[in-house]
Amino acid sequence: MRINPLKQRHEPIINGWLAIPSSYSAEIAGHQGYDAVTVDLQHGLIDFAAALTMLQALSSTPTTPLVRVSHNEPAQIMRMLDAGAYGIICPMINDAAEAQQFVDACRYAPQGSRSFGPARALLYGGKDYPQHANQQILTLAMIETHAGLANLDAILDVDGLDGVFIGPNDLSLTLTGQASAESQHPEMLNAIERVLSRTRACHKLAGIFCTSGEAAAQRIAQGFQLVTPANDVMQLTHAARHAVATARGEVMPVRSGSGY
Ligand code: 3PY
Ligand code: MG
């Protein structure tokens, strides 16, 4: 089976994030040097048919294809793995039982309950995909709720969970009442530091969504091992605004807290 380089990478993982339903955008992103690129089925405007073509496009590039599913639903997770995703990011994980259900959905028996029918995963991963998929598929649980934060240690204890990925907008929304990816609210700063230190103490992968390359560099310096330097919508918006402002000789408009 094609090895998943994210499973043994010791350098920080730079992860692109696609919300635009386009195989062309996916292909462009895949050629920009990202270690991984995530197709976002939660807040991206992407259905299964578009996701499939995006995973095919990513396969023609050096990056590793991941999917963020819309929710913790075994059938959707199974379909995205069958379509060739090499890892799943699952939103809104609140406790160990939910984390266990998520991991089970990503693993064939006897470790889990993923149904057999690897489809396109055989083409991308190789003929021996079924024998090695349980070891190669990356599983990241999103911590972005009060409950997820409170149950963090139990979530991290779940065998087969490779790490966690902080959704700072949702976490900030539940902790402070305001969605903000780079919040400086003391509760958010404490929460993020706690997730980072507990995750690293468990020798698992600590990831976080960021609004820019600069913010992502700061997260790496803080100790995060997987960062997303904004999604395609934010990058396109920022680049377009910058071009328009520059052409008009104006000062660049300031970005909002959520990154959008
Ligand atoms: C969040 O910030 O809540 C996310 O889920 C990132 O996409
Ligand atoms: Mg979120």
| pLDDT tens-place string over residues 152-163 | 999 999 999 999
Q: How far is the CA of 177 from the centre of ligand 2 (A)?
A: 14
pLDDT of residue 67: 99
| 221-250 tens-digit pLDDT | 999 999 999 999 999 999 999 999 999 999
3-class SS of residue 13: strand
Q: What is the DSSP letter of 62?
A: S
Name the closest-CA residue to atom 4, ligand 1.
Answer: 167
Q: What pLDDT was estimated at residue 253?
A: 63
Whether residue 43 lies in the annotated active site: yes
User: 129 C-alpha to center of ligand 2: Å?
Assistant: 31
How far apart are alpha carbons 246 and 80 in whole angstroms?
Answer: 41
* Among 46, 169, 212, residue to substitute to test ligand 1 (most atoms within 8 Å of Cβ): 169
Residue nearest to atom 5 of ligand 1 (CA): 167
Residue-level pLDDT at 257: 73
- Probe residue for ligand 1, chosen from 46, 66, 209 as the CB with the greatest number of ligand atoms within 8 Å: 209
- Residue 46: what pLDDT? 98
The share of the chain scoring above pLDDT 70, in percent, equals 98
Position 256 pLDDT exceeds 70: no
Q: Could you tell me the pLDDT band of residue 11, with boundaries at 50, 70 and 90?
A: very high
Ligand 2 centre from 172 Cα, in Å? 10
pLDDT of residue 258: 76
- pLDDT at 170 exceeding the cut of 80: yes
Atom of ligand 1 nearest to the CA of 169: 2
Catalytic residue from among 43, 132, 185, 238: 43
Q: How far is the CA of 103 from the centre of ligand 1 (A)?
A: 20
pLDDT at 178 over 90: yes
Tell me the percentage of the chain whose pLDDT exceeds 90: 95
Residues with CB under 6 A from ligand 1: 91, 144, 167-170, 181, 209
pLDDT (tens digit per residue) in 112-129: 999 999 999 999 999 999
Q: Give the burial class of 159: count Cβ atoms within 10 A of its Cβ; 0-12 exposed, 13-18 middle, 19 or more buried.
A: exposed
pLDDT at site 107: 98
Q: Which helix (DSSP H) or strand (DSSP E) does residue 54 occupy?
A: helix 48-59
The whole-chain average pLDDT of the chain stands at 96
- pLDDT one-digit tens code per residue, 51-98: 999 999 999 999 999 999 999 999 999 999 999 999 999 999 999 999
- Would you state the pLDDT for residue 184? 95
Average pLDDT over residues 33-47: 98
In the beta sheet, which residues pair with residue 166? Answer: 143, 208
Confidence (pLDDT) at 112: 98
How far apart, in whole angstroms, are the C-alpha atoms of residue 74 and residue 76? 6
pLDDT by residue (tens digit) across 211-220? Answer: 999 999 999 9
Q: Write the CA distances from 13 to 2, 87, 192, 243, integer angstroms.
A: 18, 13, 18, 29
Residue 153, classified by CB atoms within 10 Å of its CB into exposed (0-12), middle (13-18) or buried (19+), is exposed
Res 238: pLDDT: 94
